[in-house]
Amino acid sequence: MPQRGCDVTVPLRFAENPASRDPSLWTTFINAPVPLTRPFVPMPAPAALLKKTVGHGCTLEQILLLLYLQQMSSSLKDIDFQHMGRTCLGHAARRTANLLTRHYNRHMAVLGLELTQAQLLAAIADGSASSAAEIARFLGIDRSTLARNLKPLEVAGLVTRQDGKGRKVLPVLTQLGEAKVIEIHRTWLKAQEEVSALLGPDGADAVRTQMSTLRKAVHILESQE
């Protein structure tokens, strides 16, 4: 008999099809067993269920497995998904990022840009990066995403490519791009000041500090993988 904390197995098709919980199917779905890693907790078996399952020739272990599956489905009722949503750091960060992005995008729309494009042009204008990879790291994106974001800016005549050290190719601003970045900075200041005014100086600093702390914590977790 399975003991508390042991791993048990159940046929794959039986596990994937909740509608197939008729005990008579135990003898049909016997191929492709897969492990259930959740600790097994024995439950009292109702007399009617025991009679039905035994009548179909089920063993005591099969009865317990059936009860185990029932326990897994009923346990959903015990989960507070509202609490999960309220406390999830990932959910909170994504909601906040989406709201902030929409706020900045409303301002950048008059320039025909989105925030991601404005940030990219500003990073290029900074001039401290020695490669496209460094720009991507600064923006927190991968190189393929950087390439996709650069393409429309090149088509618009705001960015061109310049040979860097070795085989590196570095995106640089054209004259049109330099003029656009000046407009971006002016527009960004207005969007930034609107949010900062509501937070107050101390509030804005606290938000930046906490976001930095959160990023560092996630970087630590990634380094441990």
- pLDDT means per 10 residues, the chain with 225 residues, are 39 41 42 40 48 55 64 68 89 94 97 94 92 89 91 95 77 96 97 96 94 94 89
Beta-carbon count within 10 A of 110 CB: 9
pLDDT of residue 40: 40
Distance CA 139, CA 146 (A): 9
Q: Is 68 strand, coil or helix?
A: helix
Do 159 and 121 touch, CB atoms closer than 8 A? yes
Distance CA 26, CA 10 (A): 9
Position 123 in a domain: yes
Give just the sign of the alpha carbon dihedral 181, 182, 183, 184: positive
Q: For residues 49 and 115, state if they share a domain.
A: no
Position 87 in a domain: no
- Give the pTM: 0.64
Q: Residue 216 to residues 8, 123, 206, 209, 213: CA-CA distances in angstroms? A: 39, 21, 15, 11, 5
Do 143 and 133 touch, CB atoms closer than 8 A? yes
Distance CA 206, CA 88 (A): 20
Q: Residue 72 to residues 37, 95, 131, 138: CA-CA distances in angstroms? A: 12, 30, 52, 44
Q: For residues 145 and 196, state if they share a domain.
A: yes
Dig out the tokens for 127 from the structure: 């001039």
Number of domains in the chain: 2
Q: For residues 110 and 200, state if they share a domain.
A: yes
Among 157, 94, 169, 158, smallest CA distance to 120 is for 158
Element (H, E) at 171: strand 169-173
pLDDT of residue 158: 96
Q: For residues 156 and 218, state if they share a domain.
A: yes
pLDDT of residue 159: 96
Q: For residues 112 and 220, state if they share a domain.
A: yes
pLDDT of residue 140: 87
Position 168 in a domain: yes
pLDDT of residue 113: 95
pLDDT of residue 60: 60
Dig out the tokens for 108 from the structure: 């950048």
Position 206 in a domain: yes
Among 36, 60, 78, the domain-final residue is 78
Instruction: Give residue 4's Cα distance to chain centre.
Output: 34
Do 161 and 170 touch, CB atoms closer than 8 A? yes
Give just the sign of the alpha carbon dihedral 118, 119, 121, 122: positive
Position 97 in a domain: no
Q: For residues 150 and 215, state if they share a domain.
A: yes
Position 185 in a domain: yes
Question: Domain range for residue 113?
Answer: 106-224
Q: For residues 200 and 149, state if they share a domain.
A: yes
